[in-house]
Chains A and B, each alone.
Chain A
């Protein structure tokens, strides 16, 4: 290397050194800034990053579904989109209204007014539509407009519409139960919300999430005892009869008498829980007529009266009860029966032909204390405890509040209020061997029952109630292929404003089938029927027949009548008049009762027919165990007419051997192999 070159290098060294110093200084500044940002201000920026990236979102668990006993979904929830906007960010309110209104099927002028109002009041939030259908939300989302925001909410769907609406209930816009099981079991169905800490990147894509606080608890599904098929039949038949007979309301209950499980609970008028309440009529339609609206039962209540008589007196089905040819004097007033009849009849016939005067005499014989005791035993005047809100306990006055004439009204089912559910439960006592069961709507609820009647009382009542269907006022309830038992009832409705009984009726029927081993109980009530076609036998008994027939088929209950059963002979009688006379009832008692004035022994003021007026006639022979040929021979020999059902040997006979046979009556025989 030459001297000149070395000299040139030596001349450029200071410049290189200065360049190196500048670079070093720059690097030092960068390093210093790095330390300041990542060490000194670490917490500040970390906090800022957390604010930007981490969000706490509330997790609302899906509401549990409501299913029937076969797993059919009666109510379920789906996530849907709700749409909101910040009106202050909308560039043009009118254009926004024009854009959103047709897509969301909203009133354009109202939407425009709401948006303008928010802008004037500086409100930064406005719901456009909550829980919109998926198609509408998708169409709006595809517009890719940044001032339209979406939030996921849960919407309740009722796939079967009006079916079992009064049992299932509905929810409000916030998903809270409003009625029915939705309200009663709101805590079970709703679950508990939780919170989630979500970390998102700059494009708001989440890459980490963890539970924040207490975990969300999803709602539990609820399995009901309701059978959707039976419920549908019950609602259809109830609707048809209410409409056909111009009634106001109606209700029906189908129950398993042994477990108390409710297979159907229908109420008319119906409502659709998918729709909000729009007027007063729809609001009243949400009343559960079967559970919340009590009424005077009328003649169906004679079942309770006669049960009490069998338990507390020496009266038997063949005991003769005076009926005074359809008119008698009680407490200074002449009371007329709903139809003319003999001077006396057997206790069984009192029930079969629904004799009011006979029932009054039986009630007097029982006495008000015993009668009240058995009314209470049958569960009247108390809530059943069913899993539905707004249950009415009905109204039963204590004996000390009874008027002197009450002993004549109560046995006929007046001066007290009951619900259709209570009637079904009372009928179940007869059907299940004497046990008062608690009605159940939940499939996994334990069976609760207590014995209130002796088995022999129950067997006797079953037989008498079967006769009601075979030859009494309940003929319209006869089933094909199954035996049935029941009682009709027709009670005048009181006008609480004028305190007078009207000529509108509560038409009822309660019964069970098959008779020997009852599988189902059905109670039907229609309120507001009128005229001779408004009696329980005409209005409610046919509903019982249709509902029971379908229900027994659905549940595959074996037929209990033999295939070659002889049809019950039609004697030409059309006994549908079972009107419970309200002449002795005091309609003012159906408001808060006043203290009863007068003699507290008023129940002794009833009149018994003297023994001299008792019916006389031939005694029924003993046909038990005879063949048909032998029966025919004996009948011809004694001149006593017989009426036969079935084949084989005589197993049952009414009246019993040795009982007095009233004039014009025949001995009824049931044959079986």
Chain B
């Protein structure tokens, strides 16, 4: 396969490193005053006007806006399917305008609407399209295909030899993602990749993709017309408006909290306050302390500790510190042992990774107006109330959490169960759960 004229840096990136444990990290993508005008004869998806933005390495930047806002045009200028009228696009500091477009495209992952799978090729052949263009031998293609299918949750033995028409919409989207990842490109372009499936499947694919991205840390440009998808998927969101004008660029919470124009405010919707709730997680909150006592512990001691605390109830936990229920401090006997029967009510248990939106919803529904935050083993860490969540929103904790620059390694645990190093150890101390 002739690859002469390919930029050396790109060549090195295209080279696939086996095994998966060390995928190529992303590269920065920079738009510098990029403009695309169409003259009257030329047909195109939408003009772009003086677009400047930088997508940092390993981040997902979502281009969102109504149809005709130039978001797809912007995307296609990155792999030079469309050439800008003026301005430059740099990948890792190098102007792509001077690179061989064929080689450039082979080094960029591309997922398009309706996935663009080739109907005449089996799933395995579809995934191996770019490796084949790059001249990989059959054995290497096969190994890589199987690896990628497993990565996106499809059993290679079952799916490798099927045709796309034999797959469900969700399976096709997965194959589309696998195909784009085939040569481990540092940059991926995704044009409404989850547009062709029903909302339930879409949400699952989005979650899976975000989990995958935690491991892969690609630099991703993602186009959608759906503001909810933009907020969910984007580390950065670029809201574009008709005429190819960048209306606002920033982390999703900033856009929800401080829309810079009427257009942005209208586009993100009147419920933007609620949308912000889905951006932060319970682990980002400062938890209220809770007094706990184990089942079978001395009642007098527990009563004394409960009365000293501001909250009116004592949380009864089992031998593993898992919550059993609330005990009214006035009904704790002055002597004897604590028993399970004393518990009068229970709160919803909140995973530390739950979004504030889900947490608030559960708290509103519950009989006790507080949620108990538990760690991955079910041990109580502290309390969350609707007031805590409201205060956090006002204090801007959400913005902090949403923009926090987490090192990619932190989240590389495949099952996502690892506690963050910045966990609420202080809260655990205050709980005194062990004592």
**Interaction A to B:** no
Could you tell me which A residues sit within 8 Å of B by CB distance? none
